[in-house]
Structure 1
């Protein structure tokens, strides 16, 4: 029997989970071999619960995996990588949310995030190739902070320009560059 060598693309959404018009949701529908970490029913702000959900989703996948994380999903992926050793082919880490600095209104506060296990952001090198896509005008993370995270993680930094938080509110449904960056990791 031939080994399964085509990677599964596993979407790791942020704290808002699945949004129908989000580029991750659209991309998952488009790609032939893609899945997504399912939304949590409870403990939605718990970092540990989010990491466990990612690990459970990975346990259902046979063969290589490429993680495609957005926003707090990036933090879920790096927290997971610090605790688990499953081999990952690579990761696209798009518009990481800086959960150590105050977020705009409508997002959890710094104290709430700390109580739910999001602090400290892991800064150790990742054990797999990764690409960080950083926005110059992301309201959830300053470019310099994301640049420093990418360096610490050993990730290649891609300057996306001024794309806001790379979400529907910033005008992104489809994001064609995601496929190009994923292809680099395959």
Structure 2
């Protein structure tokens, strides 16, 4: 079987050098960061197109590793586009609470997923993140009092995220 392609999907600002996604890329060099375009002024349709192109270009199964606004990208892409049959799993970390149903699809994802939320995330309560997981048919993990799970909250190194990803890869 072909090794899965792991696509890293940063949110706003492109997950800088002190972010856990960047740390994870340094530890697991087979990860590929998807260039979604303008990281500071997202264009939702363009982000969806770029994610779809990255998934289509992958030679085998795909695992998506999304943070923040990219979590919303993944569910939008799955609801509107997608070559979702090649996605083996998704790790959706710290989804933001954007209220518009047009922005946050509520359909179950057509692939296994895990949503990780924080009790102290300024952009989304743990209860809301758990609600997203339920709507999307995903498992939910409460990471505790860990902020937005980004560089600003001290998540350069994030061993929990590495373990979750490795567990997903082992199940494929």
Using the size of structure 2 for normalisation, the TM-score is 0.90
Provide the C-alpha distance between the structure 2 equivalents of 1:64 and 1:25, rounded to a whole number of angstroms. Answer: 22
Is 1:67 equivalent to 2:64 in the alignment? yes
Shift of the 95–41 alpha-carbon distance from structure 1 to 2, 3 Å rule, reads closer
Indicate the residue corresponding to 1:137 in structure 2.
Answer: 120
User: What is the CA–CA distance in structure 2 between the aligned matches of 1:157 and 1:19, rounded to whole Å?
Assistant: 26
User: What count of residue pairs does the alignment treat as equivalent?
Assistant: 167
The answer on whether the counterparts of 2:7 and 2:62 sit within 8 Å (CA) in structure 1 is yes
2:163 alignment counterpart: 180
- With normalisation by structure 1, the TM-score equals 0.83
Q: Does structure 1 residue 85 correspond to structure 2 residue 68?
A: no
Cα separation, 2, equivalents of 1:145 and 1:42: 25
CA offset at residue 30 of structure 1?
1.7
Residue 111 (structure 1) aligns with? none
Matches of 1:90 and 1:61, distance apart in 2: 14
The structure-2 alpha-carbon separation of the partners of 1:62 and 1:26, relative to structure 1 and needing over 3 Å to count, comes to: same
Specify whether residues 98 and 32 from structure 1 end up closer, same or farther in structure 2 by C-alpha distance, changes over 3 A only. Answer: same
For residues 139-172 of structure 1, the C-alpha deviation after alignment (integer angstroms, 9 at most, x for no partner) is 0111111111100111110010000000111111
Paired residues of 2:55 and 2:83 also in contact (CA < 8 A): no
**8 A Cα contact 2:56 2:83, kept in partner:** no
The DSSP-based 3-state class of the residue aligned with 1:89 is: strand
**Which whole-Å CA distance do the structure 1 matches of 2:36 and 2:44 have between them?**
13
- Once the two structures are superposed, residues 62-111 of structure 1 have per-residue CA deviations (whole angstroms, 9 ceiling, x without a partner) of 111110000001001111111213320100000111122xxxxxxxxxxx
CA distance in 2: counterparts of 1:67 and 1:42, whole angstroms: 18
Equivalent residue number for residue 97 of structure 2: 98
Stretches of structure 2 that go unaligned for 5 or more consecutive residues are: none
Report the aligned-residue RMSD: 1.8
Alignment pair present for 1:15 and 2:16: no
